[in-house]
A and B are shown apart, each in its own frame.
Chain A
Amino acid sequence: MLSVKHLTDTNELTKDDFYQILDTAKAFEEINSRPIKKVPALKGKTIVNMFLENSTRTRSSFEIAEKRLSADTLNFSSSGSAVKKGESFEDTARTLSAYKIDMVVIRDSHAGAPELLKNYTDAVIMNAGDGKHQHPTQTLLDLYAIRAHFGKLEGLNIAIVGDCSHSRVVGSLVPAFKTLGIKTTLVGPRTFMPKFVDQMDVNYTSNIEEVLPEVDVVYLLRIQLERIDSTPIPSLEEYRDLYGITQERYDMLKENAIVCHPGPVNRGVEIDSELVYAPKSRIIDQVSAGLYVRMASMYLLLGGEVNGIAD
């Protein structure tokens, strides 16, 4: 049993919650290697994918996870839906809730959207990214991929590089790393950092080369191209020069170190094109981990037992 009813914020998860989900995900990885990948775990459950912000990757991952768990699903996205016609969030939420659904997977460009949704539905809520606030399943899949490589999480040393200010990826990673005993260093220019980074439980440096030889994981954040208009950095070229993973920087990494990226990659910006699938890259493992941890979280939140699926 998880200590939470919903999965909306990694600050709410205990160490035990993380390991329950990761262990259950491991069982789902095994199932996904079988010829028939579908299990009846969530048969009869209805899940709504409420994607009010576009995200092909995250949505595909959730959809496949739901199908493999045999849940009935309804996709509700902003494009072409009532939301575009000006229907309010409340009306959309209440309407969907009227169908007596079991779970809502919500993605929204506003911080706090899952919390607001709780006012209008009794369904279990799974946060698939809310504005610049949280993205818990991204964190879980990152942890899964990292643990798969190192066989442990505690004591690892991880650098997160890039636009950390108001990044939901960072919003979820940092508290999780803290709970799990992972040492975190944020890397990037001050304009990319939370304003009060110095008061956070992390290290900070603007010198990537200083941390590369030290870390077990270098976690690259995607540069949101639209953010460049508000000029936190002068150009993508300058960013690559100062922070991009080039061959030279790649070679500075420890033997056993890995490179992660939540995707999609801006090739030649965060990392040079020919290194995207280099031996140290775990970018594709992260994608498959996404499927396992999403299956595991949905299964556990909807009442499944840890190891209950390992028949």
Chain B
Amino acid sequence: MALLIKNVRAIDPSCDLDEVVDIVIQDGIIKEVGQNLSIEKGVTEDYSGKIALPGFFDMHVHFRDPGQEYKEDIKTGSQAAVAGGFTGVATMPNTKPTTDTAELVSYQYEKAKELGICKVYPLGAITNGLKGEHLAEMGSMYNAGALGFTDDGHGVQNGGMERTAMEYSRQFDALIISHCEDEGIVGKGVMNESPISDHLGLTGWPTLGEEIQIERDIELAKITGARLHIAHITTAKGVEMVKKAKAEGVQVSCEVCPHHLLLNEELIDSKYPVNLKMNPPLRSKEDMLKLQEYFIKGDIDCLVTDHAPHAEHEKNIHFEDAPFGIIGLETSFALIHTNFVVNGKMSYQDLVERMSIAPRRLLHTEPVQIKAGSKGDLTIIDPDKKWTFENKDIYSKSKNTPFKGYEFIGKVSDTIVDGYHSYQDFKLAK
């Protein structure tokens, strides 16, 4: 089966491409990129006015499968992903049971493959049951396809355990992803520790609780030589530590979520908005603005959503009891495009670097490029489309997002995975 994409502006900084071209994809592989191309048999579609980018990759999502399929499952999670332009995602292991065995890694791989909607790369747990006590079978999980390891949802509290995990990971050169949270300092914190948390009578989750583990893990990466990736970074100081360590040659990288780039604690008021409760929490406005700067400059390596679906009855309760997290796959690109690309603060090239290239490079998964021989994973956007984010735009089973009613410029129109449309003309493909 062949697909001919006509007249699309293709942008891929990895092969210095930014021009209006035709693209031929055959049997899942890009056959040719050039002018005035034609095919003998297959489908030809005109994409004038649209932009083709290497398929987006989100290395931090929660698909809740197995165990909490009432929140999300691999199918609905994949649908939300392709609606947001993602051709690949890495799923966090805090499933029920925890993804801490090769069998559970294989389960997700198989299920996603059967569905064929989006590529799903399960990450494995660092410790059994995310308890921080006993090293999980990283080797078997790695052999089953786990590209990285994390106890996301928790920081590994015991520094010795984290060190062991880093040392052990080296034989696979697998990525260690750290959710940085010192539980002794954070305690039962539910929002950033600040005069606002004092005022609202909510327990604070101080920046220190995150930064102290970033610092520890950087030191551990330094002595172990492991590859460390700091998950959902939220403070300027955290990024500065990562930046300094990189300059010293430590193999460390970090990611940021759209909500930490664009929202801050000042939005949390006496209405106790539960969709602004996430972990780590929304920080100060100053931190938010600094994160934007570091994201644009590239000190923050990549963008992730931390897509964290929760059912209505779980999330819409007392702020203190509500679970942490929001969904994010459907809004990620539009938020970044509207706030940074449209106004020229960030180029498409840099967006591709943060949303497509860097995550694959960090996880050592196959790069996706717009050139002959590459996998046919493409995200096509309509850069001018104005739209308002509403319930009907949500494909996730859960609707916990603070962005309903937000107005965006630019929307993903098509998501092509291995040469086939998973999302076509702003709709899920059959």
B288-318: CB near A (< 8 Å → 1, else 0) gives 0000000000000000000000000100111
Q: A88-B317, A89-B317, A116-B272 are in contact. Are A111 and B202 (CB under 8 A)?
A: yes
* Closest chain B residue to A89, Cβ basis: B317
Task: Report the Cα distance A9→B271, complex, angstroms.
Answer: 12
Knowing A132-B201, A171-B201, A195-B204, the reply to whether A110 touches B194 (Cβ < 8 A) is: no
Q: Which residues of A contact B318 (CB under 8 A)?
A: 89, 108, 110-113, 116, 131
A90 touching B320 by the CB < 8 A rule? no
A9 contacts across to B, CB distance below 8 A: 270
Interchain CB contact (< 8 A) of A115 among B187, B197, B202, B270: B270
One digit per residue, 1 when the CB lies within 8 angstroms of any chain B CB and 0 when it does not, for chain A 103-137 equals 00000101111011000000000000011111000
- A196 CB–B CB distance under 8 Å: yes
Q: Determine the chain A residues whose CB is within 8 A of the CB of B100 once the complex forms.
A: none
Interface residues of B in 201-216 (CB under 8 A from A): 201-204, 206
A88 touches B272 (CB 8 A): no
Partner of A166, one of B203, B271, B316, B319: B203
Q: Does A110 lie within 8 Å of B319, measured CB to CB?
A: yes
Q: Which of A71-127 contact B (CB under 8 A)?
A: 88-90, 108, 110-113, 115-116
A8: nearest chain-B partner, CB-CB = B270
Q: A88 to B202, alpha carbons, bound, how many Å? A: 21
Bound together, the chains give a CA A158 to CA B343 distance in angstroms of 53
B200 at the A interface (CB under 8 A): yes
Q: Does B72 contact A (CB under 8 A)?
A: no
A194 to B202, CA, bound (A): 11
* Chain A residues closer than 8 Å to B320, beta-carbon distance: 110-112, 131
B133 within 8 A of A: no
Q: Which A-chain residue is minimally distant from B187 (CB atoms)?
A: A230
Cross-chain contact B270 with A88 (CB below 8 angstroms): no
Contact A199 B195, beta carbon cutoff 8 Å? yes
B198, A88: Cβ atoms closer than 8 Å? no
**Does A225 belong to the interface (CB within 8 Å)?**
no
Q: Does A200 contact B (CB under 8 A)?
A: yes
Considering the complex, give the chain B residue whose CB is closest to the CB of A110.
B318
Total contacting residues, chain A, CB less than 8 A:
27
Does B321 touch A at the CB level, under 8 Å?
A: yes
Chain B contact patch, size range: 20 to 34
In the complex, A199 Cα to B195 Cα: how many Å? 8
- With contacts A90-B316, A115-B271, A166-B203 taken as known, whether A110 is within 8 angstroms of B198 at the C-beta atoms is no
**A168 contacts the other chain (CB 8 A):** yes
The CA-CA distance from A44 to B142 in the complex, in Å, is 71
Q: How far is the CA of A80 from the CA of B208 in the complex (A)?
A: 42
State the CA gap A199–B206 with chains docked (Å).
16
Nearest chain A CB to B79 CB, angstrom units: 28
Q: Name B270's contact: one of A112, A194, A230 (CB within 8 Å).
A: A112
- Report Cα–Cα, A108/B272, bound state, in Å: 15
Q: Is B22 an interface residue (CB 8 A)?
A: no
- For B194, the chain A residues whose CB sits under 8 A away are 195-196
User: Which of A9, A90, A196, A200 counts the most B-chain CB atoms under 10 A from its CB?
Assistant: A196
Contact A115 B272 (CB under 8 A): yes
Identity of the chain A residue whose Cβ is nearest the Cβ of B195 in the assembled complex: A196
B65 within 8 Å of A (CB atoms): no
The CA-CA distance from A110 to B272 in the complex, in Å, is: 11
- Shortest Cβ gap from B403 to chain A (Å): 20
A111 near B319 with CB under 8 A, answer: yes
Write the chain A residue with the least CB distance to B196.
A196
Complex CA gap A200/B202 in Å reads 16
Measured between beta carbons, the chain B residues less than 8 angstroms from A112 are 200, 270-272, 318-320
B152 adjacent to chain A (CB < 8 Å): no
Instruction: Tell me the complex Cα distance, A224–B203, Å.
Output: 16
B200 with A111: CB separation less than 8 A: yes
Chain A positions within 8 Å of B202 at CB level: 111, 132-133
A194–B201 CA distance with the chains assembled, in angstroms: 9
Residues on A with C-beta less than 8 A from B182 are none
If A112-B200, A112-B320, A166-B203 are given as contacts, then 16 extra A-B residue pairs at C-beta distance below 8 Å, sorted by A number, are A88-B313, A90-B313, A110-B320, A111-B200, A112-B270, A112-B271, A112-B272, A130-B201, A131-B201, A132-B201, A132-B203, A133-B202, A168-B201, A195-B193, A195-B206, A230-B187
**11 CB < 8 A contacts A-B:** A88-B317, A108-B318, A111-B320, A132-B201, A132-B203, A168-B201, A171-B199, A194-B195, A195-B197, A196-B198, A200-B198
The list of the 10 closest CB pairs from A to B, nearest first, reads: A133-B201, A112-B272, A110-B318, A132-B201, A194-B198, A111-B201, A196-B195, A110-B320, A112-B319, A199-B195
